[in-house]
Each structure stands twice: as C-alpha cells, then as structure tokens.
Amino acid sequence: MISTNDARPGMALDLPDGLYTIVEQQHVKPGKGKAFVRIKLKKVGTGQVVDRTFRAGEDVPQAIIETRDHQFLYRDDLGYHFMNLEDYSQIVLHADDVGAAADYMLDGSTVKVTMYEGTALGVSLPAAVELEVTYAEPGVKGDTRTGATKSVTVETGLSVQVPLFVEQGQRIKVDTRNGEYLTRV
C-alpha cells in the first residue's frame, strides 16, 4: 500500500477495476474543506486514460511492475516468441500485446518486456532502431532543395518517409515513438 500523497507519475496502482499507471498527480488543498489528490491514470493493456480523485493520505494498493530484457526470437501462428536473457526461459506474446512494436523488431533484437506478477503485459523498445532499406524508388537528381521526401520500405515491412538521397541497401535510424526517419547510419 502507498499513500496518495506519495504517489508519483510512473508508479503503478492495482485498483479493483484493473492495473493502472500514474500519468499525472496533483495535490489540491481547497480553501474550504479537506485536501484531496487528483490523479490521471492510464489503464495497462487498453491505454484508456481516466481521472480519479482520492482523499489526501488515503492508502491505495501499489503494483510492482518490472521490466526484463528479452531477445525477440521469431513470430509464428502462436504469436511473438521472446527469450529471457537472464534464465533463458521463453514466453509467447499475442499480437495485441506487442502492438506497434512489431514494426521495429528484428529476429535477435533485444527489447524490454513489462511484467506484472509473472505475466507479460507488453513490449517497450529503445527510442530509435537501425533498419536496412529493402526497397526505395530512385530520387530525382537536383530535387533536394525543397526538402522533398519519398517512401521507402525497411526490412521489417514498415514504410518510412525519408529524404530523396536515401537508397536501397542503406541503413537508417528510425524513431520508434512516431515512425519518423532520423538519420542514415
């Protein structure tokens, strides 16, 4: 249990209607009446954001969420297979649990798997990954002054908008948060 006065963004709460992470926390002391704590919560799994109000000093159950390094092995009909790098055990996550991270994962890449009470909740990636361009239309020579872009396909099948000078076979760095091109590698 943790006091609502000690709750901070990033912590997880195990409330009766599900597991939530704290997005924002605000301690409010009105001129008349008792103080309260307004917390913006994000439901783990669905991403739904809700606002809750608690009495100041009220105890709420804290959930300990841990992240462990896993290696992405392969994908098949059962889902995405990962291996724990500490004890070499394997887990399988469904496509819903992996989400958009699947567009940036290559066989053998290391990711962080979020765990709660031994159950895998999801996958988090580094801020940027390096991927090889597998298909790119040739750029028009001399058309670099306008900052024009073209669409290329990387080795995971993701389509990325890049400057015209990027060619097939080159490696590029892609931001995993928004899917934008960062630089050539």
**What are the φ/ψ torsions at residue 54 (nearest 5 degrees)?**
-125, 155
What's the CATH fold of domain 2-63?
SH3 type barrels. (2.30.30)
pLDDT recorded at residue 90: 92
Domain 128-184, classified CATH 3.40.50.150, yes or no: no
From first to last of the 185 residues of the chain, give the pLDDT tens digit. Answer: 888 888 888 788 888 988 888 888 999 998 888 999 999 998 887 778 999 999 988 999 988 888 889 999 999 999 999 999 999 999 998 888 888 888 999 999 999 988 888 888 788 888 899 999 999 988 666 656 667 888 999 999 999 999 888 899 999 999 988 889 999 98
pLDDT recorded at residue 161: 92
22, 41 in Cβ contact below 8 A? yes
Q: How far apart are CA 110 and CA 51, in angstroms?
A: 34
- With CA atoms as reference, report the closest residue to 67 among 52, 48, 49, 86: 86
Q: How far apart are CA 152 and CA 166, in angstroms?
A: 9
pLDDT recorded at residue 142: 63
Q: How far apart are CA 83 and CA 53, in angstroms?
A: 40
Residues 6+ apart with CB under 8 A from 109: 71, 72, 129
Enter the pTM of the model. 0.72
pLDDT recorded at residue 140: 67
So what CATH class is 66-124? mainly beta
What are the residue boundaries of the structural domains of the chain, listed by start? 2-63, 66-124, 128-184
- Bridge pairing between strands 62-63 and 90-93: unpaired
pLDDT recorded at residue 101: 87
Q: How far apart are CA 113 and CA 157, in angstroms?
A: 22
> b/e for 45-57, b at 16 or more Cβ within 10 A?
eeeeeeeeebeee
Count the Cβ atoms, other than its own, within 10 Å of residue 59: 12
Q: Do domains 2-63 and 66-124 have the same CATH topology?
A: no
pLDDT recorded at residue 165: 86
